[in-house]
Structure 1
Amino acid sequence: MTLTWNGKRFDWLNVAYFAGIHAGALLAPWTFSWSALGVFFFLYWLSASVGICLAYHRLLTHRGFRIPKPLEYFFTVCGNLASEGGAISWVGMHRMHHTLSDRPGKDLHTPKDGFWWSHMGWIVCKFEFDRREMEARYAPELVADPVHRVLNRIHVVPNILVGLALYAWGGWSFVVWGTFLRLVVVLHGTWLVNSAAHTFGYRTYDTPEGSTNCWWVGLIAWGEGWHNNHHAFQRSARHGHAWWEIDATWAIIRGLRTVGLATDVQLLPKGAERFRLDRPDLGPVAADPAA
């Protein structure tokens, strides 16, 4: 008998991998140290905020700003540390999500196919499509970049090297907190954007899919929880539109812009408020100090 979820067969290699990460994270209470906690938070920020939110998502997927190529490649390696695959595959699948968003059977991770499916079920199942064809269609500029092709092929290497370095530096305490526990938090933070930020929260804009702004996902996922804002203005490098919608990743981008490393930064178009739903309780759109 073949086990399936939503008609898809399980990818048992992925099941074993993610089960192993979660099992390793359970050792955290017995391996705690303050230095391990510091390693956890630093690598959490580096891999999730800098790597996934800034590099994979706002830079490579949506081209919300530009940075020098060497810095782009370094930030891409930071994204490799999140264990969410290579940048070319990630960008291709995310652009496909925006094209087919919340269409059951089309969008790979819509909650309309089930909350837990959208959260992580789709990750541990096999899909019947040609990944290279998908990448060529949705991420052609990255496929054409030889450095990104190499980074996409070796995306597992940075985590292995960091894991070895952590063991040499701080033993199993650093490995458990800096690799296993960190990856559990980073992965679920990303997955919550697909599940919770299409289910819970409020809607500021009348977009054609079910995206929402979910404050607690915004905190866990470094600003990615303001997902309805993002779907309304996909190229904007800033996801928090109200002054109280905390967007930690935008703070990094703004800092890069201040020192001249980030250019062509995309923000909300003038008059963006006219596209909002009738929600006076949300207050005005926050002004950009450099706009």
Structure 2
Amino acid sequence: MTSHPVATATERGESFVLNWTNITFFAVFHLLALLAPWFFSWSALGVAILLHWLFGSIGICLGYHRLLTHRSLQLPKGLEYAVAVIGALALQGGPIFWVSGHRRHHLDTEDINKDPYSARRGFWWSHMLWLFYKRPEFFGYEAYRHYAPDLDRDRFYRWLDRYFLLLQIPLGVGLYLLGGWSFVVYGVFVRAVLLWHSTWLINSATHITGYRTHNSDDNSRNLWWAAILTYGEGWHNNHHAYPNVAKAGWQWWEIDMTWWAIVLLQRLGLARRVVLPPS
């Protein structure tokens, strides 16, 4: 994969400029999630947990990450598109943006300039602050599309990358029809905030603490509680050592719920060419 000629702000000797659009967006979602106690019901909480798993494990971990970024398995194209839509509903960016950023993370892991969420800038930078600045080399479509050319060639993925935010409208309407505002508060805002911070822990916590099974050229770690919150992604040292392997948890105690879904798809004859750990 060739690097794109757009230089980083640090390489150009510039200071970062705050992105108030992103800051406002994340602030509004966090504030609306705080309404949860006034809209609580057990069914609404159940919706939040269900969608956290569906959008997080199936959409992000299986779809955006193991399928689209690393091509650790193959699915029929229609099912691949469906899983990508589920990933887009997680509100973590369009597929081309997400895949590009993660490929760059692997290409220059922890490089303070080239890794979008380099852990060398500190926990809070890699956790969320990287999203709060205008960095066209990472957030500009003309820059990031070069790191996901396979997706950029696909008209559907270009559409999904551009309009993924609009998917929250039918989601919100559907939740309101099913359970009123409590379902909307928990199914959209509480779920989004919890899923964001779960996913961001992989960028932050698993590059700071945990155990190392493999001597990868970075500080990636296996962190059990992060793996539970992210359906297997917390076995991050395993992943960085063998990024194209579909199974993140290698030992019997390394619980990997996303891998269970891949095994089910494989037994149904839907998942093919699943990349396994080396023997």
TM interval, shorter chain, is: over 0.9
Equivalent residue for 1:196?
Answer: 205
Conservation of the 8 A alpha-carbon contact between 2:97 and 2:145: no
Where 1:154 maps in the other structure, the secondary structure is: helix
1:160 aligned to 2:169? yes
- 2 CA distance for matches of 1:30 and 1:136? 42
TM-score by length of 2: 0.92
Equivalent residue for 2:191?
Answer: 182
Conservation of the 8 A alpha-carbon contact between 1:135 and 1:143: no
- 2 CA distance for matches of 1:249 and 1:156? 24
1:249 aligned to 2:258? yes
Give 1:176 deviation, angstroms.
Answer: 0.9
Conservation of the 8 A alpha-carbon contact between 1:10 and 1:125: yes
Conservation of the 8 A alpha-carbon contact between 1:28 and 1:177: yes
Identity %: 49
1:236 aligned to 2:253? no
Equivalent residue for 1:57?
Answer: 65
The 5 Å alignment of 1:22-61 reads 22-61=30-69
AA partner of residue 203 (structure 2): N
Conservation of the 8 A alpha-carbon contact between 2:137 and 2:144: no
AA partner of residue 143 (structure 1): D
Which has the larger displacement, 163-172 or 139-148? Answer: 163-172
1:92 aligned to 2:100? yes
Conservation of the 8 A alpha-carbon contact between 1:118 and 1:195: yes
1:106 aligned to 2:114? yes
Structure 2: runs of 5+ lacking an equivalent = 1-13
- 2 CA distance for matches of 1:208 and 1:133? 29
Find 2:153's aligned residue among 144, 152, 155. Answer: 144
Give 1:165 deviation, angstroms.
Answer: 1.4
Find 2:214's aligned residue among 205, 213, 235. Answer: 205
Which has the larger displacement, 35-44 or 248-257? Answer: 35-44
Where 1:106 maps in the other structure, the secondary structure is: coil
Give 1:101 deviation, angstroms.
Answer: 0.4
> Moved runs in structure 1, 4+ residues, more than 6 A?
none
- 1 CA distance for matches of 2:239 and 2:200? 16
Equivalent residue for 2:229?
Answer: 220
TM-score by length of 1: 0.88
Give 1:169 deviation, angstroms.
Answer: 2.1
Give 1:103 deviation, angstroms.
Answer: 1.1
Conservation of the 8 A alpha-carbon contact between 1:93 and 1:134: no
AA partner of residue 85 (structure 2): V
| CA-to-aligned-CA distance 1:15-60 (integer Å, 9 cap, x gap) | 1110111111111112111111121111111110010000000000
Where 1:192 maps in the other structure, the secondary structure is: helix
Equivalent residue for 1:74?
Answer: 82
Equivalent residue for 2:23?
Answer: 15
- 2 CA distance for matches of 1:129 and 1:233? 27
Where 2:85 maps in the other structure, the secondary structure is: helix
- 2 CA distance for matches of 1:133 and 1:229? 32
| CA-to-aligned-CA distance 1:211-244 (integer Å, 9 cap, x gap) | 0011111000110000000000111100001100
